[in-house]
């Protein structure tokens, strides 16, 4: 029994690095593609947004003298590179896909058109959304939430390296306490950095739950979709 029929999966660019310092690890890419294929084969409609931090971050550019807008544009292109790589990995395991970009680049991707994206999902194609929102000053977290709301996803699933949301970084603090469930307001009040405040506010206003889980644990995505108590859920009371 599926708990969610249509989802938006948010992957960080860093997740694609594996043990590398930058770029894309083909083994990790193939593993993630297999996990997505598994739930796709169950009939789940899937939209995907991938960050670009493994290739380029606008915030890094600012530190090296590149202005914020130019840096963010470079970061958007990095998300397209990751999306192309993931699209290829998905198609290698037999999943039909479409890549839509918020920045026009017809030779590479379709322009983002909401109705077309929904139609692709209805035809059982995985849709990857590249280039963020197409605007500087917005993170890929915000882009993911925006796309999730637009395609009427039931939940946004954020893939991380840890098994949920904690009161402090569990990779640094062995005594960190995990939340099974938490509200949007608590996330902001405790400054838990699940997503940026714009993304959290959008989720709260549109009553869109956020599920945070460990993507590196094989089978977790299928368990989560099937309703098992995996990770942490963020929602209104």
85-99 pLDDT per residue, tens: 999 999 999 999 999
pLDDT of residue 168: 87
pLDDT of residue 57: 67
pLDDT of residue 60: 63
pLDDT of residue 96: 98
Residue 62 in this model has a pLDDT that exceeds 60: no
Measured in whole angstroms, the distance separating CA 31 from the mean position of its chain's CA atoms is 16
Q: Which is more confident, 148 or 58?
A: 148
Cβ–Cβ under 8 Å, residues 202 and 183 = no
Q: Which is more confident, 174 or 209?
A: 209
pLDDT of residue 61: 57
CATH topology of domain 6-234: Carbamate kinase (3.40.1160)
Region 216-228: what's the mean pLDDT? 91
Domain limits, the chain: 6-234
pLDDT of residue 137: 94
pLDDT of residue 63: 58
Residues 6 or more apart from 228 whose CB is under 8 A from it?
Answer: none
Residue 40 in this model has a pLDDT that exceeds 90: yes
Residue matched to tokens 């400054």: 191
Give φ, ψ of 200 to 5 degrees.
Answer: -60, -45
* Listed residue (214, 152, 142) closest to 178, CA to CA: 214
Residue 220 in this model has a pLDDT that exceeds 70: yes
Q: Which is more confident, 57 or 156?
A: 156
When mean pLDDT is compared across 24-28, 60-64, 179-183, 222-226, the lowest value belongs to: 60-64
Give φ, ψ of 144 to 5 degrees.
Answer: -65, -45
Residue 154 in this model has a pLDDT that exceeds 70: yes
pTM listed for this prediction: 0.94
Region 101-130: what's the mean pLDDT? 98
């Amino acid at each position: 029994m599926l708990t969610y029929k249509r989802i938006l999966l948010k992957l960080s660019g860093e997740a694609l690095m594996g043990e590398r310092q930058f770029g894309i690890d083909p083994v990790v890419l193939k593993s993630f593609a297999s996990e997505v294929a598994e739930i796709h084969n169950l009939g789940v409609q899937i939209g995907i947004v991938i960050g670009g931090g493994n290739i380029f971050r606008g915030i890094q550019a600012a530190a090296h003298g590149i202005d914020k807008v130019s840096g963010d544009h470079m970061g958007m292109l990095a998300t397209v590179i990751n999306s192309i790589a993931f699209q290829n990995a998905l198609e290698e395991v037999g999943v039909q896909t479409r890549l839509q970009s918020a920045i026009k680049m017809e030779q590479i991707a379709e322009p983002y058109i909401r109705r077309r994206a929904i139609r692709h999902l209805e035809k059982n194609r995985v849709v990857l959304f590249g280039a963020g929102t197409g605007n500087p000053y917005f993170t890929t977290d915000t882009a993911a939430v925006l796309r999730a709301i637009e395609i009427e996803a039931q939940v946004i699933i954020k893939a991380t390296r840890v098994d949920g949301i904690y009161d402090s970084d569990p990779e640094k603090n062995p005594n960190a306490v995990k939340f099974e469930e938490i509200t949007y307001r608590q996330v902001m009040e405790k400054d838990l950095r699940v997503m940026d405040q714009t993304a959290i506010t959008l989720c709260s206003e549109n009553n869109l739950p956020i599920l945070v889980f460990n993507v590196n644990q094989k089978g977790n995505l299928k368990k989560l979709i099937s309703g098992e108590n995996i990770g942490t859920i963020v929602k209104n009371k």
